[in-house]
Amino acid sequence: MSFWPHPYRAAVSLSFDDGMRSQLETALPALDAAGMRATFYLNPAGAEESAGLGDSWMERLARWQPAQARGHEMGNHSLLHPCSLNIDPPWLQGKNLRDWTLEQIMADVLEAQRRLMAAFPAQRETSYAYPCYEDAVGRGKNRVCYTPFIAGHFTAARHKSEVRGELANDPLVCDLHHLSSWPVERCDGATLVGLAEQAAWLGRWAIYTFHGISEGHLPVGASDFQELVDYLARRGDVWVAPVAEVGAYVRDRTA
């Protein structure tokens, strides 16, 4: 018997980071045409707060709201997108996780959540995506993982894994607040499909992380993305749903 709701044998969550323009203009129309719902991880910061992150979130909010009303999840990707990556470029000034405290990251994430709840009041379960896949603040002896805080406030949270099909989440044992996902930038359509195929065969929960669709520094080609959407639509036995929705199902089913 399958772990997943009938008639599904596996689950796939398609997630998109940083609220990029091509997600509104290319990914959303493709998903809506196929009747699929996804997760969009937003940074609800104003233009002056989000220097270096592109357009202001307020400019795009009017386009995210109807998407959420159609069942897409608007997830939390922090307010300022703090990370470290062991570098120190100008765009990380003042928001380098190496120099932050637990209190700072908690305040940042909670303020982002406050704004998201105000913008999308109908949304109940939400998930979090660690910016740059980093789950700790401080350095060396003072380095502290902030996953316990995230676990207290979100249905699920997305981390990363290697881009290999056998590493999709096993729903019976996965840490819902440190989920594996595949950073699939620069993968072609056949690779995207192959990953889903193996996860389906194993009965797992596959989470894809996309950034731009034919846009930006971590792109997936529009036709490659479409190939994955078409494949998932054709299969019919893979549950395609937002991260928080699948996470809530896993939580309740394994309780």
- CA–CA distance, 25 with 44 (Å, rounded to integer): 19
Residue with tokens 């209190």: 103
Q: Which is nearer to Zn ion, 75 or 242 (CB)?
A: 75
- Min dist. Cβ of residue 77 to Zn ion (A): 6
Q: Which is nearer to Zn ion, 80 or 168 (CB)?
A: 80
Chain residues binding Zn ion by CB under 5 A are 17-18, 131
Torsion from C-alpha of 207, 209, 213, 218, nearest 10 degrees: -150
Q: Which of 72, 13, 26, 74 is nearest to 226 (CA)?
A: 26
- CA–CA distance, 202 with 214 (Å, rounded to integer): 30
Q: Which is nearer to Zn ion, 161 or 198 (CB)?
A: 161
- Min dist. Cβ of residue 248 to Zn ion (A): 23
- Min dist. Cβ of residue 159 to Zn ion (A): 13
Q: Which is nearer to Zn ion, 17 or 134 (CB)?
A: 17
- Min dist. Cβ of residue 128 to Zn ion (A): 12
Q: Which is nearer to Zn ion, 131 or 242 (CB)?
A: 131
- Min dist. Cβ of residue 133 to Zn ion (A): 9
**Are 10 and 199 a contacting pair, CB within 8 Å?**
yes
Name the closest residue to Zn ion (Cβ). 17
One-character DSSP codes across 40-105: EEE----TTTTTTS-S-HHHHHHHHHHHHHTT-EEEE--SS--B-TT---GGGTT-BGGG--HHHH
Q: Which is nearer to Zn ion, 17 or 224 (CB)?
A: 17
- Min dist. Cβ of residue 230 to Zn ion (A): 27
What the block records as the tokens of 1 is 């018997």
Q: Which of 243, 231, 237 is nearest to 205 (CA)?
A: 243
